[in-house]
Amino acid sequence: MSHPYVLLSAAVSLDGYLDDTGPDRLLLSSPADFDRVDEVRASVDAILVGAGTIRADNPRLLVNSPERRAARVAAGKPEYPLKVTVSGSGDLDPDAKFWHTGGDKVVYTTDKGAERARAAGLAADVVSLGADLDWPGLLADLWARGVRRLMVEGGGKIHTQLLQQGLADELQLVLAPLFVGDATAPRLFGPGAYQGGRLRLVESRQIEDVVLMRYEPTAPGAPAADRHWLRLACDLAALCPPSRTAFSVGAVVVAADGTELARGHSREGGDPVVHAEEAALAKIDAGDPRLASATVYSSLEPCAQRASRPAPCARLILDAGVRRVVTAWREPDTFVEGADGSGLLAAAGVSVVVLPEFEEQAKRPNLPLLG
């Protein structure tokens, strides 16, 4: 199932709270940071908040800058991103500002919640996801509606689930210089199982008196982390010196805790026949104990037959002891009839995952070969 890129956005106090318990919304960000949030909103196809946030804050969730809205329209997009909410109960106030500002709205709910939401006459498309709310199903439905980038603006229950289920591609966290100090106030993340290891800090930036930190999950197996690493493998494929006799491929080997062990691309370092997975694996000590639980990300499935070297990449992966491969694209018959590197790996017990949403990107440097 293809999913949009999921960006979680939140502001927290120094003691980790999203809000206080007073009747009004606690303003954590600074004016310049609110403007940054407006810019991020303008860049996405949809904005999601939980029903709890609609009840607590009654937000409008608009792109406030007329210039940014005009730029969206000029680019052929709707003036406002799609507004999305999630409710199990369907208990939503039809007079909330959410429904009466901005563009189209969608409510994802359960069978029971849908009855109640429809009876309330909400100005929105009400979609039931069955007896329980299923996040991958929700994201797949958004993808089918053309949503490629989704911004999630809370609250804590929503952020917690998306991160724990490995569905968040990025966390944009703003730390505000104040304390809430009330144990009953809502926290950003609740208890439960998160990815092991450390997230990758991709940016930190001071904005007036707040600090923005951007993190990406990295541990293989989480859908968002798999997408992160496969995207990188596809970017590496674009670095390959062109060839008329071999594909351009990128590969990354990643340890179970999200540490990058090595990367490679076809024909790197002046070697006219080296393959991406071969180049990456050659940079790792064969005795490295992390290989047994590592994942190889390769923009094209590892080769099963090869004239240029004795061992194809599927064999090199097996010999390295790697048990998981993620790829974007199955090898066409261009150079080898019926190549089936994925089948060879799977027959040897390796788990092979294909993420077709990256196929176009993986093929791009190879278009001259594909005709």
Ligand X SMILES: NC(=O)c1ccc[n+]([C@@H]2O[C@H](COP(=O)([O-])OP(=O)(O)OC[C@H]3O[C@@H](n4cnc5c(N)ncnc54)[C@H](OP(=O)(O)O)[C@@H]3O)[C@@H](O)[C@H]2O)c1
User: Interface with ligand X by CB under 6 A: which residues?
Assistant: 10-11, 18-19, 25, 28, 49-53, 56-57, 86-89, 91, 133, 153-158, 161, 186
DSSP 189: S
Residue 65 CB, nearest approach to ligand X (Å): 19
Query: What does the alpha-carbon distance between residue 61 and residue 154 come to, in Å, rounded to a whole number?
Result: 12
Indicate the SS3 state at residue 206: strand
**Least distance (Å) between residue 186 CB and ligand X:** 4
Instruction: Count how many residues are written for the chain.
Output: 371
Residue closer to ligand X, measured from CB, 152 or 222: 152
CB atoms within 10 A of CB 281: 24
Output 16 or 368, the one with its CB closest to ligand X: 16
Closest to ligand X by CB, 64 vs 89, is: 89
Q: Least distance to ligand X from the beta carbon of 181, Å? A: 15
| Between 86 and 313, CB nearer to ligand X | 86
- Residue 11 or 322: which CB sits closer to ligand X? 11
Going from the C-alpha of 367 to that of each of 8, 230, 239, 359, the distances in angstroms are 35, 19, 14, 12
Choose between 150 and 320: whose C-beta lies nearer to ligand X. 150
Q: Please say which residue, 43 or 161, places its beta carbon nearer to ligand X.
A: 161
In one-letter notation, the amino acid at residue 38 is D
Q: How far is the CB of 6 from ligand X (least distance, A)?
A: 14
Task: State how far the Cα of 68 lies from the Cα of 202, in Å rounded to an integer.
Answer: 25
CB closer to ligand X, 53 vs 195: 53
Q: Closest CB to ligand X among 18 and 167? A: 18
Alpha-carbon span 8 to 149, nearest angstrom = 11
Burial class (CB in 10 A: 0-12, 13-18, 19+), 48: buried
Alpha helices, DSSP H, located in the chain: 31-43, 51-57, 66-74, 97-100, 111-119, 135-144, 156-164, 223-237, 276-281, 313-320, 341-347, 359-363, 367-370
Query: How many CA atoms within 13 Å lie on the side-chain side of 328?
Result: 28
Tokens of 365: 């440097």
Q: Taking the CA atoms of the chain, what radius of gyration do you get in angstroms?
A: 23
Q: Which residues on neighbouring strands pair with residue 260, listed in sequence order?
A: 254
Q: Minimum distance between the CB of residue 155 and ligand X, rounded to whole angstroms?
A: 2
Angle, helices 66-74/31-43, rounded to nearest 10 degrees: 10
